[in-house]
Chain A
Amino acid sequence: MVDERPFDRKVYRARPTTRRLRSGPYIRYPDAQLVVLTAKGDTDAYNELVERFQNAARNRALSVVSDFQAAEDIAQDAFIKAYNALKDLEDPNKFAGWFLTIVHHTALDYVRARREGMSLETMKEQGFEAPRETRGEQIEKLEEREEDLRVLDALQDLRDDYREIIILKHVEELSYKEIADRLGMSVSAVGEKLSRVRALLKRRLEKKRVPGKAESEGIQAEEA
Chain B
Amino acid sequence: MSEPSQDEERELTLSLYIDGELDAARRQEVEEKLRSDPAWKAEYEALTDSDKRVSKVVQDSWHDPEFTGRVMDRITKQNLPPAPEWAGSPSFTKPLPPTSSASPLRDKRMRLLVSLAAAASLSLFGVTLWFLFGNRRPVSNPLPQVLASADPESVRLEMDLSRFSGYVAGNVYLGQTVTVKAETACVKWSDGTRLWLRQDAKVRALGARSLEVDKGVFLIDVARGTQPFILKLADESQIQVLGTRFEVEAKETSTRIRVLEGHVRRSGGKAVTGVDARGGEEITADLQVRAIDPREILISWADLAATPKAAAIGLPSAFAAPWPQLGGTPGHAGVTPLAGPAGLAATRFIPFPAAGGGAAEESTQYAPAVVGAGSRVFVLRRAGTGKMQLYGLDLEDKGDAAWKPCGEPLPGNAQNPPVITARGLVVAGASGNIVQAWDPDKGAVAWKKDVESSVYALCAAYDGNVYCSTYQRMIVLDGNGEKAWAYPNIKDVQAPVSIAPDGTALVMARDGKSALLDRDGKLIEMLNWEAAAAEQIFWPPVLAVRALAGRRRPADPGRYRGAREGRQPPALRRGQEHALPPERGRRQA
Indicate if the CB atoms of B50 and A40 lie closer than 8 Å: no
Name the distance in Å between A125's Cβ and chain B's nearest Cβ: 26
Tell yes or no: A66 within 8 A of B by CB. Answer: no
Mark contacts of B136-177 with chain A using CB atoms, 8 A cut-off: 1 yes-contact digit, 0 otherwise: 001111110000000000000000000011111111111110
Could you tell me if B15 and A39 are in contact, using CB atoms closer than 8 angstroms? no
Task: Count CB-based A-B contacts (< 8 Å).
Answer: 194
Given A38-B82, A40-B138, are A170 and B68 also a contact pair (CB < 8 Å)? no
Interface membership of A116, Cβ < 8 A:
no
What is the CA–CA distance of A55 and B21 in the complex, to the nearest angstrom? Answer: 29
Q: A22-B63, A217-B169 are in contact. Are A33 and B143 (CB under 8 A)?
A: yes
Partner of B66, one of A18, A169, A171, A192: A18
Query: Is A111 part of the contact surface with B, judged by Cβ < 8 Å?
Result: no
Is A5 part of the contact surface with B, judged by Cβ < 8 Å? no
Task: With A51-B63, A198-B47 as known contacts, state yes or no: A84 contacts B78, CB within 8 Å.
Answer: yes
B15 touches A191 (CB 8 A): yes
A87 contacts B167, C-beta separation under 8 Å: no
Contact of A20 among B62, B82, B174 (CB under 8 A): B62
Complex contact A76–B67 (CB within 8 A): yes
B12 to chain A minimum Cβ distance, whole angstroms, is 4
* Of B58, B74, B169, the contact of A76 (CB 8 Å cutoff): B74
Output the nearest chain B residue to A149 by Cβ-Cβ distance.
B57
Cα A151 to Cα B334 in complex, Å, equals 67
A50 to B72, CA, bound (A): 8
Across-interface contacts of A76 in B (CB, < 8 A): 67, 70-71, 74
Tell me the nearest residue of chain B to A19, going by C-beta: B62
- A84–B66 CA distance with the chains assembled, in angstroms: 21
Number of B residues with CB within 8 Å of any CB on chain A: 66
Q: Are B87 and A218 in contact (CB under 8 A)?
A: no
Q: What are the residues of chain A within 8 A of B360 when measuring CB–CB?
A: none
Instruction: Classify chain A: how many residues form its interface, as a range.
Output: 35 or more
Give chain B interface residues in 220-240, CB to chain A under 8 Å: 226-227
Closest chain-A Cβ to B348's Cβ sits at a distance in Å of 59
Determine which of A90, A151, A192 lies in contact with B53 in the assembled complex, contact meaning CB atoms within 8 Å. Answer: A151
Cβ A40 vs Cβ B168 within 8 A = no
A195→B60 CA distance, assembly (Å): 22
Q: Please give the distance in Å from B539's CB to the nearest CB on chain A.
A: 53
| Contact of B208 with A by CB under 8 A | yes
A43 and B139 contact, CB distance less than 8 A: no
Say yes or no: A151 contacts B57, CB within 8 Å.
yes
Q: How far is the CA of A35 from the CA of B71 in the complex (A)?
A: 16
Decide if A183 is an interface residue (CB 8 Å cutoff).
no
Residue-wise interface mask of A (62-93) relative to B, using a CB-CB cutoff of 8 A (1 in contact, 0 not): 00000000001001100110011111011111
Per a CB cutoff under 8 Å, which of B47, B63, B75, B165 touches A43? B75
Q: Which of B15, B66, B87 contacts A194 (CB 8 A)?
A: B15
Q: How far is the CA of A155 from the CA of B60 in the complex (A)?
A: 13
B172 surroundings in chain A (CB, below 8 A): 220
Complex CA distance for A116 and B17, rounded to whole angstroms:
45
Say whether A205 contacts B72, CB under 8 Å.
no
Q: Among A40, A83, A148, A201, point to the contact of B208 (Cβ < 8 A).
A: A40
Task: Give the residue among A35, A87, A176 with the most B Cβ atoms within 10 A.
Answer: A87
Contact (A202, B50) CB under 8 Å given A19-B64, A222-B173, A222-B176:
yes
| Closest B residue, CB atoms, query A23 | B61
- Does the CB pair B84–A19 fall under 8 Å? no
Interface centre among A39, A85, A155, A167 (most CB of B within 10 A): A39
User: Does B56 lie at the interface of the complex (its beta carbon under 8 Å from any beta carbon of A)?
Assistant: yes
A217 to B60, CA, bound (A): 22
Does the CB pair A191–B54 fall under 8 Å? no
Let me know if A141 is at the binding interface, CB within 8 A. Answer: no
- Smallest distance from the beta carbon of A16 to chain B beta carbons, Å? 12
**Which of chain A's residues has its CB closest to B80's CB?**
A84
A152 close to B61 (CB less than 8 A): yes
Tell me if B75 and A36 are in contact (CB < 8 A): no
A194 adjacent to B19 (CB under 8 Å): yes
A19–B63 alpha-carbon span in the complex (Å): 6
User: B58: which of A41, A85, A166, A202 is its contact (CB, 8 Å)?
Assistant: A166
Asked if A30 is an interface residue, CB under 8 A from chain B, the answer is yes
A183 to chain B, nearest CB (A): 15
Tell me whether B226 and A40 are in contact (CB under 8 A): yes
Q: Could you tell me the distance between the alpha carbons of A28 and B166 in the complex, rounded to whole angstroms?
A: 12
The answer to whether B65 touches A50, judged by C-beta atoms less than 8 angstroms apart, is no
Give chain B interface residues in 279-294, CB to chain A under 8 Å.
Answer: none
For the complex, give the distance between the alpha carbons of A19 and B68 in Å.
Answer: 11
Choose among B47, B59, B63 the residue with the greatest number of A CB atoms under 10 Å from its CB: B63
Residues of A within 8 A of B66 (CB): 18
Chain A 120-154: CB-based contact to B (< 8 A → 1; otherwise 0)? 00000000000000000000000000011001100
Q: Is the CB–CB distance between A206 and B46 below 8 Å? A: yes
CB within 8 Å of B: which of A175-208?
A: 176, 191-192, 194-195, 198-199, 201-202, 205-206
How close is A106's CB to chain B, nearest CB, in angstroms? Answer: 13
- A36-B208 contact given A41-B81, A80-B75, A170-B54, CB 8 Å threshold: yes
A155 touches B83 (CB 8 A): no
Given known A39-B83, A40-B139, A219-B167, contact A21–B62 (CB-CB < 8 A): yes
Interchain CB contact under 8 A, A87 and B85: yes
Q: Are B58 and A170 in contact (CB under 8 A)?
A: yes
Is B91 interfacial (CB-CB < 8 Å)?
Answer: no
Given contacts A18-B65, A36-B87, A218-B170, is CB(A167)–CB(B208) below 8 Å?
Answer: no
Of A52, A79, A201, A220, the contact of B54 (CB 8 Å cutoff) = A201
B76: nearest residue on chain A (CB-CB)? Answer: A43
| B61 / chain A contacts, CB cutoff of 8 Å | 21-22, 27, 148, 152, 155
A-B contact pairs, 23 of them (CB 8 A): A19-B64, A32-B165, A33-B143, A39-B83, A40-B208, A43-B76, A55-B62, A76-B74, A80-B75, A84-B78, A86-B82, A87-B82, A148-B61, A151-B56, A151-B57, A176-B19, A176-B21, A199-B15, A199-B47, A218-B167, A218-B169, A220-B171, A222-B176
Interface residues, chain B, with chain A CB atoms under 8 Å away: 8, 11-12, 14-16, 18-19, 21, 46-47, 50-51, 53-68, 70-72, 74-76, 78, 80-87, 138-143, 164-176, 208, 226-227
Chain A contact residues, CB within 8 Å of chain B: 18-22, 27-30, 32-33, 35-43, 46-47, 50-52, 54-55, 72, 75-76, 79-80, 83-87, 89-93, 147-148, 151-152, 155, 166-167, 169-171, 176, 191-192, 194-195, 198-199, 201-202, 205-206, 217-223
